[in-house]
Structure 1
């Protein structure tokens, strides 16, 4: 746990940068509880539980990058602790310690270790629920632990209901180890209760399914990474010498790794949903199976050279850290994310002049103003009809194309905040096409600068 906290604390602020996904957390968490509930009626209901949690933390500790990201660091530290105990219980101390140290070093985990989003908290829930399942399967204090198991699953589902695929992984574990009838009865009750708790959220969120319409269809190229992870996990499972009706690391970890990856890939054949962050918790299974590999190596070296086995883990960690150092540094840099809403806001503060207007293209780029309102003080947001808080949205409600066009033609200078060319999506709405056309026809470009994934341009009216 301390190792994971150290990795997460390293470069936590990323030079004060905040990218668009984290900006959503930031701007929602700063609203009142009533305003958050109003927002959830329209968008992001799947993240409602997380937003309310972050609202409480922002109220207690203030809005800042540390408050934004530290919950993810602590959550993955909990997950690492759970992985360590699971590995120790099932395969010995070396396997457990190796698995726990591995988790924080995995590239996907390093990215979300410092991310102000709910996926690390889901991973912590996966670690706790899996540890509780292993504990009851070993016959240790079954009663209270089943309540904890069901409650943890419910919280996971409320943070991201796709995480309930872990139920299928745990089901395979029960089948693999030949669980007793009493265990099946209690597991069914706990899992069913958790699912019923989350079912209203699942049903209500279908109204907002359009929010994930941007996810691209699944391709064979996108499955290369998951295939490599499954191959590594498969090697660890073979080294564990899995046998039917035996509780082992392979019986727990291989389903935990494979089921979420393959389940989300299968679902994506019908509706594109495959994103690495949705199945981040499957990395716990990978860490356990890598721990098996390191544990097997330590035992093999120890049999050949007495006392040498204790050096296998430190050497493996040192080699892994050295090999992953370029990736680790990159994930802690400001360039590791698509954009930086704070940087473009700072540039707006420097560039703006008295009497300027501001436009956002697309309207989602208004997140820079929501996160750093002071930087936009004095600028007239000429497209905005209803602000984000009052409208219960993330970006606000803009006026009709005709009204925006008329407002633009009355301006002498317009500051435009948009995406950098490398990450910009095609203009698709009539409103955004109109903005681009009016700027091109009636204004001339006087300043243009790309800032960490965003683009700030200044236009003056052609007389």
Structure 2
């Protein structure tokens, strides 16, 4: 591999050479300042007004299950997140389950990512470039968003950043272990291996080839098994115009930075990380939709490195003031919204509260589609006074995320045998309808035998109260 390290640190590129004590010491403030900024921004409003969105509700539920329950559930669904659920189970075993415990691992992971980005930038383009890259990362709104979510994406970012640093250090054994951990945390992290390969394409070291092959071999059993659960991503649609525009603009910004003298110092590493994983996943998604921006979140590492190097190259008092003003404006205009309930698609606690207010003891309950039962996982007691008319077995009892449903015929029988009101939780009007027999029979019986009495929209849900024969 061509040595892309900055002259001041190039001597430490080979693992057998140890940095001088002074050099090692100088890397400490470069790493600590970005980590401290990320910690401050990550802890700011971490509870988001007590709200919890759908995927976080799944994490919360899974982490509170026993290890045998988690293992059996992974055999039916969500095996791709198994390692993360096990980690969160351990966290909840130590700390009281709650919003802070749920999100703190993500905050700390992004702190590590910011520190590692600073060290990578320092190695490639010098201390100031590294410091600027590390400080820029926490200021990106997308980073602040996923630093405060109880999902695996921030941890994948930290592992990919660590793997990238180990790549530069040519520590192939550690590199393989870290990248395998990233891929087991989320399978699409394997795309960053392709980005690293593109950085080394002229003369890939044998050590990297062996490490990459070992990572792929270690991931293969999980990947093959997760194919059997591919139906869980059927909700993903082909990339729409907004997603395409966002990717193109980000890629163009990265390419523009890479063409400047400052960006040239980091482009061999940073540009592939920024463009390749997202670009490949988006291209595949026009054939088989899989693209979701958070699945390729490590692109922010490449973006921060390029921006930091360009700022370093053109640094001046005027640019310093302009950068500080831009950072302040970003914090004032974007960051507060990210800490509000409205910043996420759905708030399961709000749905649960509306359900509790709408339903009376003895009322029936229906979820259309049944996977919306996830909106009641956090506080199941809120619907304990309602009778779920279509559920055959609860999520825990069936070792699933959403429970299992009765047959269409049995659902019809139970709905028609219920003389009282039925509280129905549905998606908003205009959302695609599941073309499966169980969901179709629910909609058919509601249309033919029930009258909508009242309905409340909350986030992405509609909670309606239906009664037989118009007897509201």
TM-score, normalization by structure 2: 0.87
State how far apart, in whole Å, the 2-side matches of 1:410 and 1:201 are: 44
Counterpart of 1:168 (choices 194, 200, 206) is 194
Equivalences for residues 7-22 of structure 1 within 5 A: 7-22=41-56
CA contact (8 A) 1:239 1:292 kept: no
Following the alignment from structure 2 to structure 1, what is the Cα–Cα distance between the partners of residues 283 and 433? 28
Offset, 1:146:
2.5
CA contact (8 A) 2:425 2:464 kept: yes
- Spell out, residue by residue over 1:251-306, the C-alpha distance to the aligned partner (whole angstroms, 9 max, x if none): 111111122122212322432111101110011000000101211221xx3xxxxx
1:251 paired residue number: 268
Over 3 Å counting, the alpha-carbon distance change for 1:260 and 1:240 in structure 2 is farther
Q: Any idea what SS the aligned residue of 2:452 has?
A: strand
Within 5 Å, give how 1:17-28 maps onto structure 2: 17-28=51-62
Residue equivalent to 1:204: 225
Supply the distance in 1 between the matched residues of 2:254 and 2:417 (Cα, whole angstroms): 62
Equivalent position of 1:229 in the other structure? 250
The residue number in structure 2 matching 1:156 is 182
Query: 1:193 corresponds to which residue?
Result: 214
Change (3 A) 1:348 1:205: same
- Which string of whole-angstrom CA distances, capped at 9 and with x for unpartnered residues, describes residues 342-378 of structure 1? 1111222223222112111110111122221111122
Q: Does the Cα contact within 8 Å between 2:263 and 2:309 map onto a contact in 1?
A: no
**Whole-Å separation in 2 of the counterparts to 1:451 and 1:267:** 34
Q: 1:110-147 CA deviation, whole Å, 9 max, x = no partner?
A: 221211111111100111011111223xxxxxxxx322
What is the deviation of 1:94?
2.0
* Residue 140 (structure 1) aligns with: none
Alignment partner of 1:403 out of 387, 407, 410: 410
Please give the TM-score of this superposition, normalised by the length of structure 1: 0.89
Deviation, 1:330, is 2.4
Distance 1:213 1:386 in 2: 23
Partner SS, residue 422 of structure 2? strand
Shift of 1:62: 2.3
Q: Which residue of 1 aligns with 2:363?
A: 356
Checking the alignment, whether the CA contact within 8 Å between 1:334 and 1:452 is kept in structure 2 is: no
Equivalent residue for 1:129, pick from 148, 153, 163: 163
- The 2-side partners of 1:249 and 1:173 are apart by 10
Pick the aligned partner of 1:96 from 87, 106, 130. 130
Which 5+ residue runs of structure 1 have no aligned equivalent?
137-144, 302-307
1:344 is the counterpart of 2:365? no
> 1:297 maps to what in 2?
314
CA distance in 2, matches of 1:268, 1:457: 35
Structure 2 distance, partners of 1:390, 1:455, is 27
Alpha carbons 1:340, 1:454 under 8 Å: kept: no
C-alpha distance in 2, partners of 1:371/1:242?
46
Equivalent residues in 2 for 1:48-87, closer than 5 Å: 48-87=82-121
SS of 2:259's equivalent in the other structure is helix
3-state SS, counterpart of residue 393 of structure 1: coil
Name structure 2 gaps, 5 residues minimum: 1-34
1:241 deviation in Å?
A: 5.8
User: For residues 110-149 of structure 1, what are the structure 2 equivalents within 5 Å?
Assistant: 110-136=144-170, 145-149=171-175
Aligned equivalents of 2:40, 2:231: Cα separation in 1: 38
Greater Cα offset, 272-281 or 434-443: 434-443
Deviating above 4 A after TM superposition, structure 1's stretches of 4 or more consecutive aligned residues are none
**CA distance 1:153–1:456, shift in 2 (3 Å):** same
Partner of 1:35: 69
1:22 is displaced (CA, Å) by 1.3
